[in-house]
Amino acid sequence: MNMKPSFFERLSGSQSAGNTFDSFDEESPVAPPTPSRKETRASASSSRPAPLDDDLPGGEGQLPVDVHQTAGDIIIRAFVAGVRPDELSISISRDMVEIEGSRMEREQVAGPDYFTRELFWGSFSRTILLPQEIDVEASSATAKDGLLTIILPRLDKAKQTKLRVKAG
């Protein structure tokens, strides 16, 4: 009797030990997975890989950031190389920071002329929810050598002051 291989046998490539029960016998054969577009590009043996300009379909980029704290501040750092400080927009509230900007390509190069295209060009933004409330008025931002640094002084809720009542 010619037995159809079980689902497990088809999946793993193993041979049956004579067990005739398989609840997946009625399934259609499993097609091998097709490689993704990126895997196809990585395995292509052409001397000039395809340009990557279609990987981000017309959307806005998300700015990668580092956020850490010191004893009194929350510090946000982001690389904004190629963006002038006046092209950045930073909005700060007591519990959130939003950074927006745009990085424009200085020269236009035709797609087939690229060997590798990894830099992001276009508008970007990032909204960061802060772990603690900050003092908006005392916050500062600097950009040097393409690194944006935002210093946000934390509000100390445990800090207490004595208030004197004046007569009058």
**pLDDT per residue as tens digits for the range 40-55:** 444 443 344 444 444 4
Could you tell me the pTM of the whole model? 0.58
94-111: average pLDDT: 85
Domains and CATH numbers, the chain: 61-153 (2.60.40.790)
Alpha-carbon distance of 55 to 116, in angstroms, equals 13
Pull the structure tokens for residue 147. 């690194």
102-122: average pLDDT: 79
What is residue 55's predicted lDDT score, i.e. its pLDDT?
44
| Out of 77-81, 120-124, 135-139, least confident range | 120-124
Alpha-carbon distance of 22 to 24, in angstroms, equals 5
